[in-house]
Amino acid sequence: MDESPRYEQFVRLLARHEPSVRAYIRAGVSAWNEVDEVMQEVSLVAWRKFESLDSPAGFPHWLRIIAKYEVLKHRRSQARDRLELDEDVVATLLDEGLADAPSEDAHRDDERTALERCLEKLPVARRELVLKAYSPERPIQALADQLGKSPAAMYQLLSRIRRELADCVERTLAVEGGAS
């Protein structure tokens, strides 16, 4: 049987929900570098059990449940550190994250959509500046030099643009929230 459509569906779902699952994992592990280890295990377990998922709509919650158990497993393996929180406390915190996750995911999606609309409303030069400033390949210093500005002036300009975008996102969400 050709698994490529199933594999593609899995990869798309994982890519879409990985940032929120990473944040969820981060709540349960003590170091940033451990998040990658746990996320890798979550991805492997999720792929192995993907056939058991009833509906793609349930993927985010299902993935967080896997993440919960992988975080707990990871913490048990790290139990040598006396400064770790008790496993029951971590499990309780992770359960609270599970309960809040669907509404948080929906809210993040709404915010992302609103931000994309607000970016489109910016004048082209300002939009390009924001996109360049937040690309990992271009440090602010290099961008400031290219535009003949000081880094301080660049940070001030970007701060004003971020405030404009934040206000626009707020207005957009308020209008859309009032419309529903």
Tokens, residue 51:
């056939």
Give the pLDDT confidence score for residue 136 in this predicted structure: 63
Q: pTM for the full model? A: 0.47
From the list 111, 96, 109, the residue with the least C-alpha distance to 64 is 96
pLDDT of residue 40: 93
> According to the model, what pLDDT value does residue 86 have?
55
| Collapsed DSSP state (helix, strand, coil) of residue 180 | coil
What pLDDT score was predicted for residue 94? Answer: 66
Angle subtended by helix axes 140-147 and 124-133, to nearest 10:
140
DSSP per-residue letters across 39-87: HHHHHHHHHHHGGG-S-GGGHHHHHHHHHHHHHHHHHHHTTT-TTSPPH
Q: In the CATH hierarchy, which top-level class contains the domain 1-106?
A: mainly alpha
Q: Looking at the predicted structure, is the pLDDT value of residue 125 above 80?
A: yes
Separation CA 121–CA 142 (nearest Å): 26
List the chain domain ranges: 1-106, 122-180
Q: What is the pLDDT of residues 37-67, one digit of tens each?
A: 999 999 999 999 999 988 888 899 899 999 9
* Residue, of 88 and 7, whose pLDDT is higher: 7
pLDDT at res. 32 = 72
